[in-house]
């Protein structure tokens, strides 16, 4: 059979058939025995190899009886087809379990040891169960913000339940489906489109994997990353389910033809490939049929989401083309199943609309609350100078565990002479060059990064203050998945926990992921941790693939204690025992934060999610390429993150789940830092609020509330309530300076504190941002109608509120920005500031005069003169 030819199911030559079946992973001896007994009839041979009846059965048994060669440890016995229960296990249909090295080498176009090109596909383990169940189930809810969900599960079809239970037990080893998984399956049985919103790690994949095992039809899964598809295919192979992925990462050109001929139960594709394969998919829909289209990580559809992929939007073609009015052979529209863990209400609406999902789409919404995640936020400069303080505890924990085990600390990454050099190798080099574990400046970090062995590209790109984008679909072969955990469990650096230490209060030892915003920081922090004795590695998109692969592999095998990564270390990480997720610096959105934090504790055990960030500096890092609309959305998302970090009074879990539109039942998690520490004492902010709002309104007041129009600052005198053109609104810095200047009692107050008050008033709806594109912190405040009403009411009521985290910092340390010098402290006083600024100007002029630099090289002294000269030159031209 020619490579690339589609498999049609007709008879083929014996050699071709043997080659094809070998590629599918069947044992050579079993194949030759079956082909010898039956002849080169593909369908029958396949049936025999898959455990069906026929002459091949005896052939296979005979062969085995004759002493089949022993199989590698990674081989997986084929499960028996349903309903064909025999006591002995299937003797013939052994799979060659794909090893990760096969897949990696195949990705690189290399050959495996047997000389055949490794095939990134995963053969089917059983004949599908033909099952068509009449269904009258209605698990429905309205779309959009009035989301409702009927938990009434009316299905009483025992055989259906039994079949699901049998498949679940047989392939996955689980005793029962989770409630939401059952709801999703019910919707699928009812031929309905379904939007599944369930927490990270809750088991969404099973919702589309089970249907593949209940029918003879194929499940097509659309996924955003090849590494994610790859990871899932490996897991399915492990569970004895045939799957493959298609697209640019697929090294074997024949797989696509086989997939379109229905040879794999589950076919993973990226959106681009779906668009290209519309015609073959229509044929597949006719025979053997498509059970459903699952669109995983469906938040990528929405522009309002945190990880927008334009090609996802084009997936509306699925609903437009695969319906019973377009394809006459269909009895029902092929159901769409869209799944995500992070979709706010606007994102959900956008998904349903963009994908043109049906009116009666079922929405299955589970709680986003993860009861085993302990959230906390800590103030930090998040620079190299604070590493020692912030990571002291983490370093102590890992080092203590090793001491306890009597192991010596070791340098971590052995250099593989054959592989591309990696940053970790170099990190170790740096570590041995310099025994001092302290890194206290960015320049030092850059210097260490400069020692990396990996050549200029890596050095330059990894030391830039650049953000990583979410990985593109071509991000192939870096993910290994949990599959590897099973391969090398003995290599774990984490001591086994005794049952006494695994109480809900005690955090077990397990791997940590530290997310940092920039590539440069991945290298710097990993370097620091390595030097402090931890098994740590850096991970960012610009590092060599071989290094990234190694990090994935070591992480999944529990050889690494800490991975310091950008967002590139992302979707598809389904590792059960991650105990800590640390964000060192602000994430780009709360959606991203929750998804990243959700990689902790997937085994249900207590895990920590800690955000270190600078309360005094609003986050500013935005992705490079963005439209105006995206800039606005990016600032809004950063602002939500900033407010989350500054919150001192509401349970963190509550804020997070509320962000996704969920009303949090218990009101508090009793685990996060806010629940544990309790809120700070409330303050009556009325006096300061009136001062601030009066200035915004264009008048100043004394503390008692008497208006003194003569105190009006000329800069803000024109300012009246109501929306106005950007530029007319006063700058917040100006407003605070004005207050400090005019009211001596506020002369030494900090702007950070006033910004906190502005956030409180904004939250109450009394002030708002006047600029078209609101930044993270309010910059051009203006009064709202509500604010004006409050101001005019001259109410005697106090205005109590909890100070936020930045205000508390400013109150506890009255000079958070001005360092410790007297000189710095003096800047808070407007009189001293004016004096100093005046001194600066005259000093500069004097110096220029003395050195004869009074004139610009062009001969003009002022910028205005220079500009006039340039304009006249242009005019002459």
For Mg ion, the binding residues in 204-243 under the rule CB under 5 A are 204
Nearer to ligand ATP, 205 or 700 (CB): 205
Rounded to whole angstroms, the Cα distance separating 471 from 492 reads 28
Q: Which does 553 bind (CB under 5 to 8 A by kind): ligand ATP, Mg ion, none?
A: none
The answer to whether 589 contacts ligand ATP (rule: CB under 6 A) is no
With CB under 5 to 8 Å by kind, the binding choice for 222 among ligand ATP, Mg ion, none is: none
Which residues sit opposite 294 in a β-bridge? 221, 337
177 binds, among Mg ion, ligand ATP, none (CB under 5 to 8 A by kind): ligand ATP
Nearer to ligand ATP, 126 or 482 (CB): 482
CB of 481 to ligand ATP, least distance (A): 10
Q: Which is closer to ligand ATP, CB of 96 or CB of 204?
A: 204
Instruction: Round to the nearest angstrom and report the end-to-end CA distance of the chain.
Output: 73
CB nearer Mg ion, residue 231 or residue 508: 231
Which member of 63, 204, 444, 697 binds ligand ATP (CB under 6 A)? 204
CA dist., res. 223 & res. 244, Å (int): 12
Residue nearer to Mg ion on the CB measure, 491 or 576: 576
Nearer Cβ to ligand ATP, position 181 or 553? Answer: 181
Nearer residue to ligand ATP within complex by CB, 178 or 381:
178
Helix axis angle for 590-597 and 652-659, nearest 10°, is: 120
Q: How far is the CB of 571 from Mg ion (least distance, A)?
A: 8
**Interface positions, 743-762, toward ligand ATP (CB under 6 A):** none
Alpha-helical (H) ranges within 224-354 are 226-238, 254-260, 271-276, 278-286, 310-313, 316-321, 345-354
Cis peptide, bond prior to residue 288, ω within 30 of zero? yes
Rank residues 205 and 546 by Cβ distance to ligand ATP and give the closer one.
Answer: 205
| Rounded distance between C-alpha atoms, residue 8 and residue 702, angstroms | 88
Tokens of 91: 């003797």
Which one of 202-210, 534-542, 661-669, 811-819 is the stretch in contact with ligand ATP (CB under 6 A)?
202-210
Q: Write out the two tokens for 828.
A: 């808070």
Strands 218-222 and 362-365: unpaired
The dihedrals phi and psi of 518, each to the nearest 5 degrees, come to -120, 160
Minimum separation from the CB atom of position 574 to Mg ion (A): 7
Nearer to Mg ion, 163 or 204 (CB): 204
| Of 204 and 556, CB closest to Mg ion | 204
**Range in contact with ligand ATP (rule: CB under 6 A) among 173-181, 544-552, 713-721, 768-776:** 173-181
Least distance to Mg ion from the beta carbon of 347, Å? Answer: 16
Q: Please state, in angstroms and rounded to a whole number, the distance separating the CA atoms of residues 134 and 160.
A: 10
178 scored as a contact of ligand ATP (CB under 6 A): yes
**3 state DSSP class of 652:** helix
The least CB distance from residue 268 to ligand ATP, in Å, is: 13
Residue number, nearest CB to ligand ATP:
203
Binding to Mg ion (CB under 5 A): which residues in 606-645?
A: none
Q: Looking at 201, 335, 445, 481, which residue binds ligand ATP (CB under 6 A)?
A: 201
Tell which positions 324-363 bind ligand ATP, by CB under 6 A.
341
- Least gap, CB of 593 to ligand ATP (angstroms): 14
63-71, 177-185, 451-459, 463-471 -> range binding ligand ATP (CB under 6 A): 177-185
Q: How far apart are CA 401 and CA 393, in angstroms?
A: 12
Binding residues among 599-628 for ligand ATP as defined by CB under 6 A = 602
Main-chain dihedrals φ then ψ at residue 748, nearest 5 degrees: -100, 10
- The pair of structure tokens assigned to 815 is 């000079």
202 binds, among Mg ion, ligand ATP, none (CB under 5 to 8 A by kind): ligand ATP
Beta strand 290-295 pairing with 362-365 = unpaired
Return the number of the residue (55 or 604) whose C-beta is nearest ligand ATP: 604
Residue 198's Cα: distance from chain center in Å? 15
Residues 476-535 that bind ligand ATP (CB under 6 A): none
Alpha-carbon distance 737 to 830, whole Å? Answer: 7
Count residues near Mg ion (CB under 5 A).
Answer: 1
Q: Closer CB to Mg ion, residue 18 or residue 220?
A: 220
Report the nearest approach of ligand ATP to the CB of residue 306 (Å).
Answer: 13
Give the closest residue to 372 by CA, choosing from 197, 174, 201, 173. Answer: 201
Question: d(Cα 699, Cα 710) in Å, to the nearest integer?
Answer: 9
Q: Is 203 in the site for ligand ATP (CB under 6 A)?
A: yes
203/495 with CB nearer ligand ATP: 203
Can you tell me which of 121, 186, 205, 462 binds ligand ATP, judged by CB under 6 A? 205
CB atoms < 10 A from the CB of 143, how many?
19
Out of Mg ion, ligand ATP, none, what residue 749 binds, judged by CB under 5 to 8 A for its kind, is none
Count of C-beta atoms within a 10 Å radius of residue 514: 27
> Which residue stretch of 200-208, 350-358, 426-434, 806-814 sits at the interface with Mg ion (rule: CB under 5 A)?
200-208
Question: In 819-846, which positions are buried (b, 16+ CB within 10 angstroms) versus exposed (e)?
Answer: eeeeeeeeebbbeeeeeeeeeeeeeeee
CB of residue 340 to ligand ATP, shortest distance in Å: 7
Site string for ligand ATP, 543-582 (x = CB under 6 A): -------------------------------x--------
Is there binding between residue 240 and ligand ATP (CB under 6 A)? no
- Binder of ligand ATP out of 90, 141, 200, 694 (CB under 6 A): 200
In whole angstroms, the minimum distance from the beta carbon of 259 to Mg ion comes to 21
> What is the dihedral sign for C-alpha 102, 106, 109, 111?
positive
Q: Which is nearer to ligand ATP, 174 or 800 (CB)?
A: 174
CB of 341 to ligand ATP, least distance (A): 4
CA 607 to chain centre: 17
Q: Which does 341 bind (CB under 5 to 8 A by kind): Mg ion, ligand ATP, none?
A: ligand ATP
**How many residues bind to ligand ATP according to rule CB under 6 A?**
16
- 338's CB contacts (< 8 A; 6+ apart) are 193, 194, 195, 196, 294, 295, 298, 301, 351, 355, 357
CA dihedral sign of residues 808, 814, 820, 824: positive
Q: Are 425 and 537 in contact (CB under 8 A)?
A: no
CA 805 from centroid of its chain's CA atoms: 26
Between 203 and 495, CB nearer to Mg ion: 203
E-strand spans in 283-383? 290-295, 336-340, 362-365, 373-379
CA distance 417 to 407: 26
Q: Would you say 364 or 801 has its CB closer to ligand ATP?
A: 364
If one asks whether residue 138 binds ligand ATP (CB under 6 A), the answer comes out as no
Q: What is the DSSP letter of 859?
A: S
Q: Residue 307 corresponds to which tokens in the numbers above?
A: 């990880």
In the list Mg ion, ligand ATP, none, the entry touching 810 (Cβ below 5 to 8 angstroms by class) is none
Query: Residue 694's closest CA among 748, 730, 725?
Result: 730
CB of 248 to Mg ion, least distance (A): 21
Instruction: Give CA–CA dist 250/247, Å, rounded.
Output: 6
Q: Are 610 and 377 in contact (CB under 8 A)?
A: yes
Distance of closest approach, residue 337 Cβ to ligand ATP, in angstroms: 12
Q: Which two tokens stand for residue 434?
A: 């310099």
Closest CA to 512 of 490, 540, 493, 486: 493
Considering CB distances under 5 to 8 angstroms, the limit depending on partner class, which of ligand ATP, Mg ion, none binds residue 588?
A: none
Compute the distance between CA of residue 551 and CA of residue 213 in angstroms, rounded to an integer.
Answer: 34
The residues of the shown chain that bind Mg ion, judged by CB under 5 A, are 204
The residues of the shown chain that bind ligand ATP, judged by CB under 6 A, are 174, 177-178, 181, 198, 200-206, 341, 574, 598, 602
């Amino acid at each position: 059979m020619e490579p690339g030819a589609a498999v049609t199911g007709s008879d083929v030559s014996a050699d071709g058939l043997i080659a094809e079946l070998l590629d599918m992973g069947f044992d050579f001896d079993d194949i030759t025995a079956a082909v010898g007994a039956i002849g080169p009839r593909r369908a029958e041979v396949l049936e025999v190899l898959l455990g069906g009846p026929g002459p091949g059965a005896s052939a296979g048994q005979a062969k085995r009886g004759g002493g089949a060669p022993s199989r590698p440890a990674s081989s997986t016995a084929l499960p028996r087809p349903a309903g064909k229960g025999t006591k002995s296990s299937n003797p013939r249909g052994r799979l060659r379990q794909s090893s990760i090295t096969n897949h990696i080498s195949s990705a690189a176009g290399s050959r495996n040891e047997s000389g055949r090109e490794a095939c990134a596909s995963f053969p089917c383990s059983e004949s599908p169960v033909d099952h068509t169940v009449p269904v009258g189930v209605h698990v429905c809810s309205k779309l959009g913000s009035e989301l409702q969900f009927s938990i009434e599960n009316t299905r009483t079809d025992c055989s259906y339940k039994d079949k699901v239970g049998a498949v679940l037990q047989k392939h996955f080893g689980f005793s029962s489906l989770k409630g939401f998984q059952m709801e999703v399956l019910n919707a699928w049985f009812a031929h309905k489109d379904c939007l599944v919103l369930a927490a990270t790690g809750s088991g969404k994949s099973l919702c589309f994997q089970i249907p593949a095992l209940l029918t003879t039809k194929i499940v097509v899964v659309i996924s955003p990353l090849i590494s994610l598809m790859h990871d899932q295919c490996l897991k399915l192979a492990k569970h004895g389910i045939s799957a493959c992925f298609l697209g640019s990462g697929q090294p074997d050109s024949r797989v696509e033809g086989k997939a379109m001929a229905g040879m794999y139960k589950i076919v993973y594709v990226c959106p681009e490939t779906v668009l290209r394969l519309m015609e073959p998919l229509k044929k597949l829909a006719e025979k053997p049929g498509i059970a459903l289209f699952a669109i995983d990580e469906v938040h990528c559809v929405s522009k309002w989401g945190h990880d927008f992929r334009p090609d996802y939007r084009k997936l509306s073609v699925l609903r437009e083309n695969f319906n019973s009015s377009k394809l006459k052979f269909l009895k029902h529209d092929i159901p769409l199943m869209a799944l995500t863990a992070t979709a706010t209400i606007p994102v959900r609406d956008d998904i349903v609309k963009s994908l043109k999902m049906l009116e009666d789409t079922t929405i299955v919404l589970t709680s986003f609350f993860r009861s085993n995640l302990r959230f906390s936020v800590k103030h930090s400069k998040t620079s190299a100078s604070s590493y020692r303080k912030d990571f002291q505890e983490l370093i102590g924990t890992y080092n203590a565990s090793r001491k306890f085990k009597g192991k010596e600390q070791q340098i971590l990454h052995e250099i593989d002479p054959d592989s591309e050099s990696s940053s970790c190798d170099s990190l170790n080099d740096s570590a041995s060059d310099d025994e001092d574990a302290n890194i206290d400046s960015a320049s030092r970090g850059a210097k260490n990064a400069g020692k990396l062995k990996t050549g200029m590209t890596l050095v330059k790109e990894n030391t830039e203050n650049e953000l990583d984008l979410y990985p593109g679909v071509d991000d192939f072969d870096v993910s290994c998945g949990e599959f590897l955990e099973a391969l090398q469990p003995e290599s774990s650096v984490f001591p086994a926990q005794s049952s006494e230490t695994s109480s809900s209060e005690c955090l077990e030892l397990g791997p940590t992921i530290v997310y940092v915003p920039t590539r440069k920081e991945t290298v710097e922090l990993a370097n620091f941790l390595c030097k402090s004795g931890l098994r740590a590695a850096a991970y960012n998109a610009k590092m060599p693939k071989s290094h990234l692969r190694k990090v994935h592999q070591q992480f999944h095998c529990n050889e690494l204690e800490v991975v310091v990564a950008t967002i590139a270390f992302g979707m598809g990480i389904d590792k059960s025992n991650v105990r800590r997720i640390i964000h060192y610096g602000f994430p780009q959105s709360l959606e991203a934060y929750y998804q990243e934090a959700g990689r902790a504790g997937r085994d249900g055990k207590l895990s920590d999610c800690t955000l270190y960030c600078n309360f005094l500096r609003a986050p500013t890092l935005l992705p490079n390429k963005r439209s105006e609309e995206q800039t606005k959305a990016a600032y809004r998302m950063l602002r939500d993150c900033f407010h989350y970090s500054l919150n001192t009074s509401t349970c963190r879990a509550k804020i997070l789940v509320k962000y996704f539109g969920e009303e949090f039942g218990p009101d508090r998690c009793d685990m996060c830092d806010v629940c544990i520490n309790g809120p700070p004492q409330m303050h009556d902010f009325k006096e300061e609020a009136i001062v601030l709002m009066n200035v915004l309104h264009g008048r100043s007041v004394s503390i008692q509330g008497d208006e003194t129009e003569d105190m009006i600052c000329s800069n803000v005198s024109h300012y009246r309530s109501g929306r106005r053109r950007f530029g007319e609104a006063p700058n917040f810095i100006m407003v605070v300076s004005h207050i400090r200047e005019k009211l001596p009692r506020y002369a030494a107050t900090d702007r950070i504190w006033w910004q906190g008050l502005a956030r409180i008033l904004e939250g109450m709806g009394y002030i708002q941002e006047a600029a078209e594109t609101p930044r993270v912190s309010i910059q051009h405040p203006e009064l709202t109608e509500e604010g004006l009403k409050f101001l005019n009411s001259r109410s005697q009521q106090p205005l109590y509120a909890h100070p936020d985290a930045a205000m508390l910092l400013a109150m506890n340390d009255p000079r958070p920005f001005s360092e410790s010098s007297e000189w710095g402290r003096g800047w808070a006083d407007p009189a001293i500031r004016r004096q100093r600024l005046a001194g600066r100007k005259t000093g500069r002029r004097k110096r220029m005069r003395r050195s004869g630099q009074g004139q610009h090289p062009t001969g003009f002294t002022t910028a205005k003169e220079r500009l006039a000269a340039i304009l006249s030159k242009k005019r002459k031209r």
